[in-house]
Structure 1
Amino acid sequence: MTYTPGLDTKITLLAAGLIFLLALVLGVWKYRQIMTAEDHRAHPYVDIAHRAALLYSFATLLLAVFVELSAWPTWINLTAAGVVVFFFVAAILGYIAHGARRDTVNQFENPGRSLEVAMVLLIAGEIGGFAVLLAGFVAGQLL
Structure 2
Amino acid sequence: MGTDTTVVLLVAGLIFLGALVLGVWKYRQMVRSEQHVAHPYVDIAHRAALLYSFATLLVAVFVELSGWSPVVDLVAAGVVILFFVTSIATYVHHGRRQDTDNQFRHPVRGTTAFMSALIVGEIGGVTVLLAGFVQAQLL
Aligned-residue offset at 1:112: 3.5
Quick one: distance in 1 between partners of 2:70 and 2:110? 33
TM-score (norm 2): 0.99
- What is aligned with 1:97? 93
Aligned-residue offset at 1:13: 0.2
Quick one: distance in 1 between partners of 2:111 and 2:94? 13
Quick one: distance in 2 between partners of 1:44 and 1:111? 17
Of 32, 42, 46, 2:42 maps to 46
Structure 2: which 5+ residue stretches go unaligned?
none
Number of residues paired by the alignment? 139
Aligned-residue offset at 1:38: 1.1
Quick one: distance in 2 between partners of 1:46 and 1:112? 19
Aligned-residue offset at 1:110: 1.4
- What is aligned with 2:114? 118
Quick one: distance in 1 between partners of 2:101 and 2:108? 16
1:33 aligns with 2:20: no
Quick one: distance in 2 between partners of 1:46 and 1:136? 36
**What letter corresponds to residue 102 of structure 1 in structure 2?**
Q
**What letter corresponds to residue 37 of structure 2 in structure 1?**
R
Quick one: distance in 1 between partners of 2:116 and 2:109? 11
1:107 aligns with 2:103: yes
1:71 aligns with 2:67: yes
Aligned-residue offset at 1:113: 3.7
- What is aligned with 2:82? 86
TM-score (norm 1): 0.96
1:59 aligns with 2:62: no
RMSD of Structure 2 on Structure 1 (CA): 0.6
Quick one: distance in 1 between partners of 2:106 and 2:31? 30
Quick one: distance in 2 between partners of 1:75 and 1:128? 16
Structure 1: which 5+ residue stretches go unaligned?
none
**What letter corresponds to residue 17 of structure 1 in structure 2?**
G
Identity %: 66
Runs of 4+ in 1 over 6 A off after TM superposition: none
Quick one: distance in 2 between partners of 1:62 and 1:27? 22
Quick one: distance in 2 between partners of 1:112 and 1:23? 26
Cα distance per residue 1:69-124 (max 9 Å; x no partner): 00000000000000000000000000000000000000000123411111000001
